[in-house]
Structure 1
Amino acid sequence: MTILVGYLDTPEGRAALDAGIDEARLRQQPLVVVNSPRRGATVDDDMVDGDHVEQVRARARAAGVAVEVRQPLHGDSLAETFEALTAELGATLVVIGVRHRSPVGKLILGSTAQRILLDSQVPVLAVKAAH
């Protein structure tokens, strides 16, 4: 039983991390934080470095939550990566950050958050960043 959190160093990612820590503490379950760079990318701005990973770990541990940070490579579908991790870990909840996108933006770029919400076999908590 694990809480799975999608994390990027963005306001939405930080909101997801905070909500994931809260849920893990409330449910007394470990937390797995996923920061996944695209497979084959030589540079990926979404991937956090070792110091940042340690900050994420320290934040969870300070809340009394056991935490693991994973940075699996993903191909075209980050949603499939989340689904595989959900099954592997026996996750009971997935937490993701969401942001407002225009209908045209969703059409052109697709929506990973939408795919995770619709395809997940476990409940998904979608959180927005505070403004």
Structure 2
Amino acid sequence: MTIVVGYIPRPEGLAAVDLAIVEAERRGERLVVVNTGHHGDYAHANFAAPQDLDALDAQLTERGIDHEVRQPTRGLAPADELLDIATEVDARLIVIGLRRRSPLGKLITGSTAQQVLLDATCDVLAVKAPV
């Protein structure tokens, strides 16, 4: 089985990866790490630098976790990328990080987490970044 985790180089993304690693080790499952741009903006801070992805790949390899790191550039919304990849790999679990947003902020820009929670066909585990 496979776990898909949404990764961005911010505290909530790191918290999601940390929890996904724990789950992958506990369950003995494959891990697919997904990092996307912000609605097709690959200059956005959410789009990880190659050295960040290389470090993550090395960490997972060192821990002996069967894994794959993906950085799709199809221009889709992050939630759509996560959901598509989860379907493609027949994921049992999606892990996402949460950040605090005001209700107005969610209304104006939408919520990736909300879309994943509502549209996923598998379990979703949401984690908050430590304060």
Same fold, judged at TM 0.5 (above): yes
Q: Does 1:127 align with 2:127?
A: yes
Task: Tell me which residue corresponds to 2:68.
Answer: 68
Q: Distance in 1 between matches of 2:46 and 2:56?
A: 14
Identity of aligned residues (%): 45
Q: Which stretch shifts more, 67-76 or 87-96? A: 67-76
Task: Tell me which residue corresponds to 2:29.
Answer: 29
The structure 1 segments of at least 4 consecutive aligned residues displaced by more than 4 Å after TM superposition are none
Contact 1:8–1:35 (Cα < 8 Å) also in 2 = yes
Tell me the C-alpha RMSD between the 2 structures: 1.5
**CA 1:50–1:77 in 2, change beyond 3 Å: closer, same or farther?**
closer
Aligned length: 131
**CA 1:36–1:9 in 2, change beyond 3 Å: closer, same or farther?**
same
User: What's the TM-score, normalizing by structure 1?
Assistant: 0.92
Deviation at 1:73, TM superposition (A): 2.1
* Structure 2 runs not aligned, ≥5 long: none
**CA 1:22–1:53 in 2, change beyond 3 Å: closer, same or farther?**
same
Q: Which stretch shifts more, 118-127 or 64-73? A: 64-73
Deviation at 1:33, TM superposition (A): 0.5
Q: Distance in 2 between matches of 1:112 and 1:58?
A: 27
Task: Tell me which residue corresponds to 2:100.
Answer: 100
User: What's the TM-score, normalizing by structure 2?
Assistant: 0.92
**CA 1:42–1:12 in 2, change beyond 3 Å: closer, same or farther?**
closer
Contact 2:38–2:77 (Cα < 8 Å) also in 1 = no
**CA 1:16–1:40 in 2, change beyond 3 Å: closer, same or farther?**
closer
* Structure 1 runs not aligned, ≥5 long: none
Contact 2:39–2:77 (Cα < 8 Å) also in 1 = no
